[in-house]
Structure 1
C-alpha cells in the first residue's frame, strides 16, 4: 500500500510530466503529475496485460471499492460480477462535494479504501482538488484509447458526455414555450422554475459560472426579446443581472432528482437539470428538453473515471474500467447502462444515447480554469443571490 508519509513527501514536489500513448487513432496524451506517475509505475498500472492476466491478478485482490456520483454504475457492477466470477465490487454513491471530501480523506489516511472514482468533472473542483494534487490518476487501455473521441483523454478520462440544460413540463405545454432565455424572468413564472443550487450541484455551478463569460450574448438576447437597448444595473455584469432577475422566479433544490420530480408532478413549468435524467421519460415522466434557445439552453458537462492513488486493487480497477468503457470493441455490457437518452458517447465507435447530437444544441462550454480562478467571486455572488430563498 502507498504509505501516507511517502505520499505527502512526494506531493510537496509535484512537477508536470506526461505519459504519451499512441495508437492508430488520433493522438491523445494522458497527462500525469510526478507523484501520480511514480505510484502508477510502482503498481504497474500501465503494464501491458491481457484480460485473462488482469482477471487472474484481480482474483488475488480484495473487494473493489468505487466512489461514484452515478447510480447507473450499479448495473455495470452487477454485469461485471457476472462476467468475472469471484470478483466483488462495492459501490458508494455520493454527491459530488461529498465524494471529493471522501477521496481526500482516503488519500490523506493512506488506507487505500477507494479504488475507482467516477465524478462529474466540469465545475473545476474535481480538477483542482483531486487531479492537480494527484489524488486520482488516469488509466485507459491502449486498445480503447484509440477509439476515444478527441478531447476525452488527458489529465482525466472523460467517458461520457452530458449537459446541464433547461426542460419544460410537457403536460403543461404541447411544444417548447420559450425562444429566449429572458422569457424566464416573466413574473408569470414565479415559483415555477426549479434549479439545483449552484452551491450544491457541480453541473449547475458549471452552467451558471461559465455563463458569466457570455455577457455579450446576454445583452443581444435581452435586446432581441425586450426590443430596446440593454439598460440594466451597471454595477452588475449582464450575466449577473440575468440571474438576479430570474432568481426570484426560481425554487432552488439540492439535486436534479428534485427538479425532475417537480417537472413531473406539475410543480414546475421549467427545470434546469442534468440531461441524463431524460432516461426517465421512458417510464412516463412528463418533461421535454429545450434544444434551441437564444442565446443558449445549457452547458456541456462530462463524467470522468479515474483510479485513486494508493488503490489496493489496481488490477481489478483496470479490469473494471475496461469493462465500464465497453471493452476493446465497444460492445461490452459495462457501457450500456450509460448510453441512454440525454447522454453522448465518448467513443467514436459507440452511438450516442441521445438522438440529437450535442453540436445541434445551444450549449456553452464549461471553462474549468476560469471556474477555478474565479471560484470565490462566483460563490460569493450566488451566496448573496440565494439569501432570499
Structure 2
C-alpha cells in the first residue's frame, strides 16, 4: 500500500493507493472519513495542454496552467456576440491582466511569470527552441494541424500533450525516472481478456497514427524517447493519454458568477443579479451551447488511480480556475472505501447501460461491473435515437 501524504494532498494521510489485481490493477482508498462536499485531495498535473480547436476558436488560456486570459466581460461578449454587454460588479472579475506575460521568443502567453518560468523549466525550453524558425511547414505546426483535421470538436485529447510529455522527459535532470513516471500510467492498447482495443487504435486510424508518429519523431526525436516513437510505443503513448487524460475546463465568466454570488446584496439586487445571470447563460447556450470554457486535457498521478463507477462517490472539480484539480466527495465516504469517479459526464450516466458500456469499452478498454451496471444487467441492450454515437462523449478519466 502506498499512503499519500505529501503536498499533492493533505498534511495527514488521507488516501492510499492499493494494488487490487484483476483488470483494475490499482485503486485509491480513503484512510479517513469524508462528508459529502469535502475535498479529499488536491493535485497539480504532471502535464497539461489546451485542446487544439479550443485554442483555434479564440479561447484564451495560460499555456501552462489553463487559467483564462480574457476578462469575464470580454469572454461573454465574444461568446454571445453582444459587444455592448456589460457585467456589473467588475471587481469580481478574476482576470488580472497586469500579471500576464509571454515567451519572448515564440509569443506563447502565460497568466504570470511564475507559469512562464515553470513551463520553461518543465518542457517549453525544448518546444520553444523548436519554434524559433517555426512556420506552417514546421513539423510541430504540421502535427497540430494534422491532429485538428483528424479530430474535430468535441475534443477529448490533444496530440500536443504527447509533445509536452516527450519534452518533459528530455528536459528532466533524470530522464529515465521521468520516462518511468509517465509509464506508471495505464498504457495498454488492448484488453486481452475481453478482446477490446482503444478506439483511436483501430484499423481506420492506422494511417493517421503513422502520420502523427512521423511528424512528432521528426520534431522531437531523441534516444531517451526512442521506444515511444516506434510504432508500438507510439500506440501505447496514444492509449496512455486516451485512457488517463482528465478534461480540464476554466471560465472567467463562471468564476465571476461564483464571486458575485458570494456578495452580500439587498434582496431586490440579488434577484436582479440572478435574472441577469440566467439571461446571459441563455444567450450563451443559444450561441455556443456547451462550448463555454477554455478546455484541455491533463495527466494527474492520483486522479488516474481512481477507478470508474457509474454511481461514483467522488467527482473532480477545478475551483481555482486553473489546472489544479480538487477531488470532492459527492456522498459520505468511510475509511477503507474505494474512491470512485465517473469517466463519463453526468448526461451520459443517465443513459442506458448499453450506451455507457460502449463508451467505456471504446475509450477505456474495459467493461464496467459497478453496482449500477450490475443492477441494470437485465435491461435491454439497445441505444435509443437520442443516445446516438456522435452525441455521446467522455469527460476524461483515470
Shorter-chain TM range is: under 0.3
With normalisation by structure 1, the TM-score equals 0.26
With normalisation by structure 2, the TM-score equals 0.26
